[in-house]
Protein backbone atom coordinates (compact mmCIF):
# COMPACT_ATOMS: atom_id res chain seq x y z
CA UNK A 1 0.00 0.00 0.00
CA UNK A 2 2.80 2.42 0.93
CA UNK A 3 4.58 1.62 -2.34
CA UNK A 4 1.43 2.43 -4.32
CA UNK A 5 0.99 5.75 -2.55
CA UNK A 6 4.66 6.63 -3.04
CA UNK A 7 4.47 5.70 -6.72
CA UNK A 8 1.29 7.75 -7.20
CA UNK A 9 2.85 10.75 -5.43
CA UNK A 10 6.00 10.50 -7.58
CA UNK A 11 3.92 10.28 -10.76
CA UNK A 12 1.89 13.36 -9.81
CA UNK A 13 5.08 15.26 -8.99
CA UNK A 14 6.74 14.33 -12.29
CA UNK A 15 3.67 15.26 -14.34
CA UNK A 16 3.41 18.56 -12.50
CA UNK A 17 6.92 19.65 -13.47
CA UNK A 18 6.91 18.54 -17.11
CA UNK A 19 6.94 21.44 -19.58
CA UNK A 20 3.92 21.75 -21.82
CA UNK A 21 3.32 23.87 -24.94
CA UNK A 22 1.56 26.71 -23.14
CA UNK A 23 3.41 28.62 -20.46
CA UNK A 24 2.05 31.12 -18.01
CA UNK A 25 4.97 30.88 -15.57
CA UNK A 26 5.81 34.56 -15.94
CA UNK A 27 3.29 37.35 -16.22
CA UNK A 28 3.00 38.71 -19.73
CA UNK A 29 1.62 42.19 -20.29
CA UNK A 30 0.11 43.78 -23.37
CA UNK A 31 -0.25 47.52 -23.89
CA UNK A 32 -1.98 49.39 -26.69
CA UNK A 33 -0.80 52.97 -27.13
CA UNK A 34 0.51 52.91 -23.55
CA UNK A 35 -2.64 51.51 -21.87
CA UNK A 36 -2.29 48.08 -20.27
CA UNK A 37 -4.97 45.59 -21.27
CA UNK A 38 -6.58 43.50 -18.54
CA UNK A 39 -7.52 40.09 -19.92
CA UNK A 40 -9.86 37.68 -18.12
CA UNK A 41 -7.51 34.89 -19.30
CA UNK A 42 -3.87 35.95 -18.92
CA UNK A 43 -1.70 36.00 -22.05
CA UNK A 44 0.54 32.98 -22.50
CA UNK A 45 3.77 32.25 -24.32
CA UNK A 46 3.68 29.33 -26.75
CA UNK A 47 6.45 28.54 -29.25
CA UNK A 48 8.04 31.90 -28.36
CA UNK A 49 4.83 33.70 -29.39
CA UNK A 50 2.42 35.61 -27.15
CA UNK A 51 -1.20 34.48 -27.38
CA UNK A 52 -4.03 36.61 -26.00
CA UNK A 53 -7.81 36.30 -25.74
CA UNK A 54 -9.22 37.30 -29.12
CA UNK A 55 -12.16 39.55 -28.33
CA UNK A 56 -10.37 42.19 -26.25
CA UNK A 57 -7.39 42.51 -28.58
CA UNK A 58 -9.52 42.75 -31.73
CA UNK A 59 -11.97 45.25 -30.23
CA UNK A 60 -9.19 47.37 -28.70
CA UNK A 61 -7.62 47.60 -32.16
CA UNK A 62 -10.97 48.74 -33.61
CA UNK A 63 -12.23 45.53 -35.18
CA UNK A 64 -15.59 43.82 -34.81
CA UNK A 65 -15.49 40.13 -33.95
CA UNK A 66 -17.60 37.17 -35.01
CA UNK A 67 -17.20 33.67 -33.54
CA UNK A 68 -18.39 30.52 -35.33
CA UNK A 69 -18.61 27.94 -32.53
CA UNK A 70 -19.45 25.03 -34.83
CA UNK A 71 -16.43 25.48 -37.12
CA UNK A 72 -14.29 27.19 -34.45
CA UNK A 73 -13.57 30.17 -36.68
CA UNK A 74 -13.01 33.75 -35.61
CA UNK A 75 -13.55 36.57 -38.07
CA UNK A 76 -12.49 40.14 -37.40
CA UNK A 77 -13.35 43.12 -39.56
CA UNK A 78 -11.93 46.65 -39.43
CA UNK A 79 -12.83 49.02 -42.27
CA UNK A 80 -11.50 47.28 -45.40
CA UNK A 81 -9.54 44.59 -43.51
CA UNK A 82 -11.01 41.13 -42.94
CA UNK A 83 -9.15 38.46 -40.95
CA UNK A 84 -10.22 34.84 -40.45
CA UNK A 85 -8.53 32.34 -38.13
CA UNK A 86 -9.46 28.83 -36.98
CA UNK A 87 -8.57 26.98 -33.78
CA UNK A 88 -5.63 24.65 -34.40
CA UNK A 89 -5.01 25.97 -37.93
CA UNK A 90 -1.78 27.90 -38.46
CA UNK A 91 -3.11 29.68 -41.55
CA UNK A 92 -4.69 33.12 -41.21
CA UNK A 93 -6.62 34.62 -44.10
CA UNK A 94 -6.36 38.40 -44.51
CA UNK A 95 -8.44 39.86 -47.33
CA UNK A 96 -8.21 36.56 -49.22
CA UNK A 97 -4.43 36.22 -48.76
CA UNK A 98 -3.19 33.15 -46.86
CA UNK A 99 -0.60 33.85 -44.17
CA UNK A 100 1.21 31.07 -42.32
CA UNK A 101 1.41 31.62 -38.57
CA UNK A 102 4.17 30.35 -36.29
CA UNK A 103 1.50 29.40 -33.76
CA UNK A 104 -2.14 28.52 -34.37
CA UNK A 105 -5.01 29.95 -32.30
CA UNK A 106 -5.97 27.72 -29.35
CA UNK A 107 -8.76 27.22 -26.86
CA UNK A 108 -7.70 27.60 -23.23
CA UNK A 109 -9.99 27.81 -20.21
CA UNK A 110 -12.98 28.50 -22.43
CA UNK A 111 -11.25 31.35 -24.28
CA UNK A 112 -9.93 31.61 -27.81
CA UNK A 113 -6.32 32.79 -27.77
CA UNK A 114 -4.70 34.22 -30.88
CA UNK A 115 -1.10 35.24 -31.65
CA UNK A 116 -0.96 38.93 -30.80
CA UNK A 117 1.73 39.97 -33.29
CA UNK A 118 -0.06 38.43 -36.29
CA UNK A 119 -3.37 39.98 -35.28
CA UNK A 120 -1.96 43.43 -34.48
CA UNK A 121 0.17 43.69 -37.60
CA UNK A 122 -2.74 42.52 -39.77
CA UNK A 123 -4.78 45.38 -38.32
CA UNK A 124 -1.92 47.77 -39.17
CA UNK A 125 -0.58 48.22 -35.65
CA UNK A 126 3.12 48.24 -34.81
CA UNK A 127 4.37 45.59 -32.36
CA UNK A 128 7.44 45.67 -30.13
CA UNK A 129 8.54 43.23 -27.42
CA UNK A 130 10.16 44.37 -24.17
CA UNK A 131 11.82 41.26 -22.79
CA UNK A 132 12.89 43.07 -19.60
CA UNK A 133 9.26 43.53 -18.53
CA UNK A 134 7.61 40.73 -20.57
CA UNK A 135 5.48 43.34 -22.28
CA UNK A 136 4.09 43.29 -25.79
CA UNK A 137 3.83 46.95 -26.87
CA UNK A 138 1.24 47.72 -29.56
CA UNK A 139 0.90 51.07 -31.27
CA UNK A 140 -1.99 52.08 -33.52
CA UNK A 141 0.04 55.06 -34.76
CA UNK A 142 3.81 55.17 -35.27
CA UNK A 143 5.67 53.83 -32.23
CA UNK A 144 7.99 56.11 -30.22
CA UNK A 145 10.94 54.31 -31.83
CA UNK A 146 9.55 54.95 -35.33
CA UNK A 147 8.96 58.63 -34.51
CA UNK A 148 12.60 59.01 -33.41
CA UNK A 149 13.74 57.74 -36.85
CA UNK A 150 11.77 60.48 -38.63
pLDDT digits (tens, 9 = 90+) for 115-137: 999 999 999 999 999 999 999 99
**What confidence tens digit (pLDDT) does each residue in 74-93 have?**
999 999 999 999 999 999 99
Question: What's this model's pTM, rounded to 2 decimal places?
Answer: 0.77
How would you write the chain as a 3-class SS string? CHHHHHHHHHHHHHHHHCCCCCECCCCCEEEECCEECCCCCCCEEECCEEEEEHHHHHHHCCCEEEEECCCCEEEEEECCEEEEEECCCCEEEECCEEEECCCCCEEECCEEEEEHHHHHHHCCCEEEEECCCCEEEEECCCCHHHHHHC
Mean pLDDT (the chain) is 84
Amino acid sequence: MKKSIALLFTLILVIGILPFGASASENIYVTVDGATLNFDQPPIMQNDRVLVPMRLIFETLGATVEWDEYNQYVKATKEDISITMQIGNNTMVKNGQYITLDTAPILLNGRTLVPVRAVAESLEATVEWDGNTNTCLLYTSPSPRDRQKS
